[in-house]
Structure 1
Amino acid sequence: MPLRIALIDDEELIRSGFAAIIGAEPDLEVSAQGADGVDAVNIARAGKADVLLMDVRMPTVDGIEATERITAEVSERPKILVVTTFDNDDYVWQALRAGADGFLLKRTRVEDLLAAVRLVARTDALLFPEAIRRLAAVSARQSGPRPGIADLSEREREVLQFAAKGLSNAEIASRMFLGRETVKTHLSSVYTKLGVRDRTQAVIAAYDSGLV
């Protein structure tokens, strides 16, 4: 079955361009389209997509708020790739804090866009483009004590550090010579100790605390 991609952007021309690119790929299909964050939430709730390509600046409900709602309200949510024209650290940071699985600029090359869609859909890795290096510097200036970090075991810290670098569970397992289920168990323990709901939130906590 092809991966179902939903396109959320208030500009019809942008949606049409993405639809043409994605529709030409045999393993991808455009399953839904929307013009604002309200549409995005409804599409996610209806289970109409495996991946949402979400613009940031939209009327009514923007991409950041829509990502927050989907992450909080939809248990079997699609992966979310925030796509924008603005190369802005604040947008990146807000998107990741909201629960986005990755961030891309609209000037990204076509092959990189397609690779990003496939990566976030088929693995549990988080997609961080080149902006992650800037975010690390921003976080280093803003970092402070994070509840739960001190409670992590050495192995849990190592797993979280690999996750923050964008590695999937399978890749972490290979690096650490562990089974995938063991990695998942360590991550579940990390989430509990940090009081976070998912991988993205745990990675943000790692940057906030200076662990990464």
Structure 2
Amino acid sequence: MAKAINSEPGCELIAHAASGNEAMARVSPRRPAVILLDFSTDELMPVLLALRQNTPTTRLLAIGIRPGYDQAETVVLAAESGVYGFVDADQPLADVVGAIRLTAAGQSPCNPRIATLLLQALQRRPTPPPRPHVPLAPGHSPLTPRERAVAELAGRGLTNRQIASRLLLGESTVKTHVHSILHKLGIDRRDKIVLDGDGSV
């Protein structure tokens, strides 16, 4: 796999780790665009969560997913924890390289089986109660395009850290945007943020 990645134009394998501790030690100073996570490791979720915390701008790609109920549940948990894409264990090596490129571009590669697992997990969730529409407070300027992007994700319940990861921003920057959004909308809590389908408040 390392040879295939390094032979791909524009791709370079900068580190390889055999354990969670080794992964954290090698990844933190380098901040790669994409990290491959082997789904067969016993410490998958602890490593995943540690990587999300310490390298929030790096996109995570899970590889080696096998059929089975246990892995299906872990796939859903991994997606909820910030994994961008998934590659099955039986997919060819070329698919892994292609998935790396898609993940680096901000897309979420996964085959139909994984997509079905994720959709089924969403369908099992209870329907959230509708949130009241909050109009723009009089005398305040409309949100900037960046604030609208942050507001949309905050309105969907994402944390500042998750928003920072999605938008490739610093967590402190997201926090500043959220404060500005609340002020402009004249509201006191982020769970009151509601955007219309066209992105207006």
TM-score, normalised via structure 2 length = 0.63
Secondary structure of the residue that 1:30 maps to in structure 2?
Answer: coil
Asked if the contact 2:66/2:88 (under 8 Å) is kept, the reply is yes
- 2-structure distance, mates of 1:42, 1:152: 46
RMSD, aligned α-carbons: 2.9
1:100-179 alignment to 2 at 5 Å? 100-121=83-104, 123-130=105-112, 131-141=114-124, 143-146=125-128, 150=131
Is the radius of gyration larger for structure 1 or structure 2? 2
- 1:90 counterpart = 2:73: yes
Greater per-residue strand proportion: 1
Gapped regions of structure 1 (runs ≥ 5): 1-17, 154-180, 203-212
CA-CA distance at 1:137 after TM superposition:
1.9
Gapped regions of structure 2 (runs ≥ 5): 135-143, 167-201
- 1:196 counterpart = 2:158: yes
CA-CA distance at 1:52 after TM superposition:
0.9
Secondary structure of the residue that 1:26 maps to in structure 2?
Answer: coil
CA-CA distance at 1:42 after TM superposition:
2.6
- 1:66 counterpart = 2:28: no
TM-score, normalised via structure 1 length = 0.60
Asked if the contact 2:40/2:65 (under 8 Å) is kept, the reply is no
- 1:78 counterpart = 2:48: no
Greater per-residue helix proportion: 1
- 1-structure distance, mates of 2:115, 2:133: 24
Q: Residue deviations 1:116-163, cap 9 Å, x none?
A: 101111x2223333211232123212x12447x63579xxxxxxxxxx
Equivalent position amino acid for 1:63 in 2: L
- 1-structure distance, mates of 2:133, 2:75: 27
Identity %: 18
Asked if the contact 1:96/1:200 (under 8 Å) is kept, the reply is no
